[in-house]
Structure 1
Amino acid sequence: MSRQTAAPANEVQLTGRVSGEPTEREMPSGDRLVQLRVVVPRPLRRARSRDTTGSTGTRRQVDTIDVACWTARTRAAALRLTDGSGVQVEGALRRRFFRTGSGAVSRYEVEASALRSVDLTE
């Protein structure tokens, strides 16, 4: 087996539905931030257990992903979205650190570089 060379990359592309209304806030630095959640369905798979009738079925699992919009362009696009609307996001995965009453914590989110409304077919 031969090895391929690859350059490091941090690229994320999501297509899903907005969950809740996007929220805007001003940071202590004066920067503005719009945050939203995107729900992306996973591919259907067969359920492992049988229901009470003995038949197997399928179940839909989803991933809920936090998205941060820092640029004026992505903030404006995010604020035009509504709960349940289709969205396509391009960006990078970021780990953000912050303090809470119980100490330092971190979380992952996608920092959007491009965001647009789309019609979804499911």
Structure 2
Amino acid sequence: MVGFKLRVISPEKVLLEAEVASAIFPGEDGFFGILPRHAPMVSLTASNLLTAKLSDGGDVDLLIHDGFAEIRDNVLTVLTRSAEKASDVDLERARSAAERARKRIRANKAEYDYARAVSSLRRALAREKYGNRS
């Protein structure tokens, strides 16, 4: 099967490097579907689920949180602030984080705090939605 390489990288480590048949990742303005020999592109990513079909037939689900994606020379590279397996999400912690972020948004103090709270809320909502997914 013809595929392409998927690399997911955080500041700390390479989280995934695999040969895949297809991938769907969350862009700032919606989801992008990637197949082998995709045209080169760069996009901002959003906090949401990245899914990939491995060349051997398995599946990968990763929650990624803000960053960039580049497809070039049959390699999709996702540089993300952080990422985690959907199955590793602590749902109770995600719910608590979402509630804290909502409170900070309602308080609407400094613009910087508001932007951080919105980003935190997006991460928490993605974790709630896709957490414990196998």
More helix by share: 2
What TM-score, normalized by structure 1, do the two folds share? 0.32
The structure showing larger relative contact order (alpha-carbon pairs under 8 Å, at least 6 residues apart) is 1
What TM-score, normalized by structure 2, do the two folds share? 0.30
More strand by share: 1
